[in-house]
Structure 1
Amino acid sequence: MAAGAPRIFVSHLSGVAVFDPAGDQVGRVRDLVVMLRVGQKPPRLLGLVVELATRRRIFLPMTRVTAIQSGQVITTGVLNVRRFEQRPTERLVFGELLDRRVTLTETGEEVTVLDLSVHQLPARRDWEIDRVFVRKGRKGGAFRRAKGEALTVEWSAVTGFSLEEQGQGAESLLATFEQLRPADLANVLHHLSPKRRAEVAAALDDDRLADVLEELPEDDQIEILGKLKEERAADVLEAMDPDDAADLLGELPTDEQERLLSLMQPGDAADMRRLMSYEDRTAGGLMTTEPIVLRPDSTVADALARIRNPDLSPALAAQVYVCRPPDETPTGKYLGTVHFQRLLREPPPALVSSIVDSDLQPLDPDADLPAIAGFFATYDMVAAPVVDEAGSLLGAVTVDDVLDHMLPQDWRETEFHLDEEEVATDGS
């Protein structure tokens, strides 16, 4: 559903078919997963519980939902088919929130929850529950007729859903720090006791934990990953940037590496193995395998749509790489780069192949760190393509990865400084 589109009542999603981009049905929606927050803040919609044809129920994150329209859900086509397991901070909408007795804040009257509405936040991929459809009088039940006035109110107009400020363990702490950037939340986690750190990490959703792990010192990364169940550890590694995940895997014993790789989706595991085959501090070892790749017949409009993806880092969104098929790395023949500033100056129907910069030499995968840094400094780049001897694009190195490896090894430790009073908020 595009930003600004009408809200959707969850009752309309019950049993709705889920399709992949090719139009093949993969399952049906059986529930919605939300995370409640402290006070009257609307809960975040994390994803959907989808029942496959095999009757297995899996979790589909909202980041992998491209559209909800005409009674159907469209996904990116990437599904993790491991069985859904509810986590401590998660609530099931159909199973736990509907048919619940809550209180109207203004009058103190008890009402029954019949339905909830969800909407996508403007210019973001986050979804929230914003309104509650309730019925006054005796308990009637979700989706059922009952006597009494029915009305729709804002989420903040009722109590009885949200977390209490005290006594909620890791849930309350997570809600308190929800608005922090990953680097700042990593700072907080670093200063918690090991027990508390493990509790908070276990309660974070996969994408959030992946973002935070990327910002933590190596020892903390290994400690947290080691305390997760192996299947969940594999999920979190898949959610991390491939180069960061490969670096973390490389610090683990070989047998543990293999167990985690065997639990990953084959494509993700192949990326990890490829990255781990290169020496540290080389272009191959530093690159991400997921740059923006376009075919020569793609248009400027196509390119601009791709770089608008909010999940991309600014460095990766700064340029697109034009290659012959296949589009996945390693690609067909690399033809050149188009910088986003050039895209902004061209008409949307123009082909990217007509404005490609083919003069700039790409990096060799075996290029060492000084050579990479010199390349970035010489050409004022924030990202650079990595191409092998056969002319295939392998990935892209971004300036943040170069800086990570040029700074002292313990730079994250020295940056993590919190006042004692702030550290004390962990309650341990």
Structure 2
Amino acid sequence: MTTATRIYLARLAGISVFDPNAEPVGKIRDTVVRLGAQPPRVTGLVVDITQRRRIFVPIGRITSLDVDAVVLASGTVSLRRFEKRLGETLVLGELLDRRITMAGSDVAATVIDMAMEKSRTGDWQISRVAVRETMPGFLQRRRGQLHQLDWEDVLGLAVPDQEQGADTLIEMITEMKSADVANLLHDLPAKRRNEVAEALEDERLADVLEEMPESDQIDILKSLDRERAADVLEAMDPDDAADLLAELPEQEKEGFLKLMEPDEAAGVRRLLVYTEGTAGSMMTTEPVIIAADATVAEALARIRMSELPPALAAQVYVCRSPLVTPTGQYLGLVHFQRLLREQPSVLVGGVVDSDIVPLTPHTSLPDVTRHMATYNLVAMPVVDGEQLVGAVTVDDVLDHLLPDDWRERSLHA
């Protein structure tokens, strides 16, 4: 495998990194440069390895580098979590979407990529900058002309931008898992993190927030316009939204709840009244609920929905009308494996399992854990009287069994 002479750094994102024995190490997430030098010197790569940890790999430890794979030299690499040092800048996280001026003209443009090349001394340096012209006023929706500029022909890049966009970075992280995006945002300066959060769609931002430490969640929520923040809270799972709002002062919490749609706010309010550490406090109010006279085909169609978390898709809950929490009388559940064994035309009410004892909203966390282990289920119904009020999933249980700061610990491990 050979090393390319010019490498565009946005294309490296997500590329696999291998050790000398061709064993996978992780994936590239960013490139670290020092802007003080002319042209800037590339010092290394940020690589995602296991357990959401990011490490720094010095550029000198790489023997082969191209857009298909990166191979490390023999020897050891520090597994200490990457932390940006004074004078270092992340190319993808901080320089993409930066607004600049092209030398020799007054034309404004936006950075969409950067290329590095190896110098005669063996150092990797930023040599070229790909930019797109910024269209003026009423033409802003049109895509401007692309330019490839030498580093010295780019003006204003080293000056902190007051209104940096996020389009290019958003496009790059489209296929990334929400937990990986949360990890990326955690490493960015607060200003840049908030800019990216502002540019994400509500559903995507909600998924990312659910994977972030509470301190990051609160910072991002407070950076948003209040009505936009309420929309994002509506898009979050009710239990995650309740956990986030519970960390806010009462006045702020109530303010967000009033801005949310009444139906969405009602589900979150119900969760906020339960004592922490009980099934009621950790359950979701939006499990898959179906009527007894629905068919197996209808039930399977419901759990096939792509936006449904795997734990919630593991079973459907059979109830009398109304089929939203709090429901009519709870009749039992049907596991997806049972659904797969039945003919599509069979009625769900004929295969319902009513022998599994449901949780109550006041069931303690240890008892929730024992119930799930007893029945070998990844989700359990929560019933108040005869009404289904929610379901507790295994990820909810793990979230509460782990220390409160487990996300911070995993980020700093």
| TM bin (shorter chain) | 0.5 to 0.7
- 1:414 deviation in Å? 2.1
Which residue in 1 is equivalent to 2:138?
A: none
2:188 to 188, 192, 206: 192
Which residue in 2 is equivalent to 1:296?
A: 292
For 1:338, what is the secondary structure of its paired residue? strand
1:169 to 165, 168, 172: 165
Q: Which amino acid aligns with 1:409?
A: D
- 1:417 deviation in Å? 5.2
Q: In 1, distance between residues paired with 2:293 and 2:329?
A: 14
Give RMSD over aligned pairs.
2.2
1:407 to 382, 402, 408: 402
Contact 1:163–1:172 under 8 Å retained in 2: no
Question: Which structure has the larger Rg over C-alpha atoms?
Answer: 2
Which residue in 1 is equivalent to 2:270?
A: 274
For 2:382, what is the secondary structure of its paired residue? strand
For 1:313, what is the secondary structure of its paired residue? coil
Q: Which amino acid aligns with 1:367?
A: T
Query: What stretches of structure 1 of length at least 5 have no aligned partner?
Result: 1-37, 40-88, 90-158, 419-428
Which residue in 2 is equivalent to 1:230?
A: 226
Q: In 2, distance between residues paired with 1:163 and 1:246?
A: 45
> Do structure 1's residue 386 and structure 2's residue 391 form an aligned pair?
no
Which residue in 2 is equivalent to 1:396?
A: 391
Q: In 2, distance between residues paired with 1:407 and 1:279?
A: 18
Q: Which amino acid aligns with 1:292?
A: V
- 1:163 deviation in Å? 8.8
The equivalences for 1:92-103 within 5 A come to none
Q: In 2, distance between residues paired with 1:320 and 1:306?
A: 9
For 1:190, what is the secondary structure of its paired residue? helix
> Do structure 1's residue 328 and structure 2's residue 324 form an aligned pair?
yes
Q: Which amino acid aligns with 1:412?
A: R
Q: In 2, distance between residues paired with 1:174 and 1:413?
A: 24
Which residue in 2 is equivalent to 1:416?
A: 411
Q: In 1, distance between residues paired with 2:410 and 2:176?
A: 16
Which residue in 1 is equivalent to 2:86?
A: none
Larger mean Cα displacement after TM superposition, 343-352 or 374-383: 374-383
Per-residue CA deviation, residues 323-370 of structure 1 (Å, 9 max, x unaligned), is: 000011000000000000000000111110000000000001101111
Question: What's the TM-score once normalised by structure 2's chain length?
Answer: 0.61
Q: Which amino acid aligns with 2:399?
A: D
Q: Which amino acid aligns with 2:226?
A: E
> Do structure 1's residue 349 and structure 2's residue 345 form an aligned pair?
yes
Per-residue CA deviation, residues 146-182 of structure 1 (Å, 9 max, x unaligned), is: xxxxxxxxxxxxx957998998732222222222100
- 1:259 deviation in Å? 1.1
1:162–1:273 CA distance, 2 compared to 1 (3 A): farther
Q: In 2, distance between residues paired with 1:161 and 1:310?
A: 36
1:254–1:179 CA distance, 2 compared to 1 (3 A): same
- 1:257 deviation in Å? 1.2
Q: In 1, distance between residues paired with 2:399 and 2:381?
A: 18
Larger mean Cα displacement after TM superposition, 254-263 or 342-351: 254-263
Contact 1:333–1:393 under 8 Å retained in 2: yes
- 1:379 deviation in Å? 1.4
> Do structure 1's residue 244 and structure 2's residue 240 form an aligned pair?
yes
Which residue in 2 is equivalent to 1:72?
A: none
Per-residue CA deviation, residues 368-416 of structure 1 (Å, 9 max, x unaligned), is: 1111111111211100000012x10000000001001111222111222
Contact 1:164–1:172 under 8 Å retained in 2: no
1:333–1:187 CA distance, 2 compared to 1 (3 A): same
Q: Which amino acid aligns with 1:401?
A: D
For 1:386, what is the secondary structure of its paired residue? strand
Q: In 1, distance between residues paired with 2:239 and 2:147?
A: 39
1:345–1:263 CA distance, 2 compared to 1 (3 A): same
1:370–1:350 CA distance, 2 compared to 1 (3 A): same
Q: In 2, distance between residues paired with 1:413 and 1:217?
A: 6
Which residue in 1 is equivalent to 2:358?
A: 362
Q: In 2, distance between residues paired with 1:277 and 1:313?
A: 25
Q: Which amino acid aligns with 2:410?
A: E
Contact 1:386–1:393 under 8 Å retained in 2: yes
1:312–1:163 CA distance, 2 compared to 1 (3 A): farther
1:238–1:162 CA distance, 2 compared to 1 (3 A): farther
Q: In 2, distance between residues paired with 1:217 and 1:308?
A: 30
Q: Which amino acid aligns with 1:217?
A: P
For 1:332, what is the secondary structure of its paired residue? coil
1:277–1:350 CA distance, 2 compared to 1 (3 A): same
For 1:416, what is the secondary structure of its paired residue? helix
Sequence identity (%): 60
1:344–1:192 CA distance, 2 compared to 1 (3 A): same
The equivalences for 1:14-413 within 5 A come to 160=143, 169-389=165-385, 391-413=386-408
1:353–1:335 CA distance, 2 compared to 1 (3 A): same
Q: In 2, distance between residues paired with 1:386 and 1:341?
A: 21
Question: What's the TM-score once normalised by structure 1's chain length?
Answer: 0.59
Per-residue CA deviation, residues 187-239 of structure 1 (Å, 9 max, x unaligned), is: 01111111111111111110110000000000000111011111000000000
1:319–1:162 CA distance, 2 compared to 1 (3 A): farther
For 2:258, what is the secondary structure of its paired residue? helix
Q: Which amino acid aligns with 2:411?
A: F
1:162–1:392 CA distance, 2 compared to 1 (3 A): farther
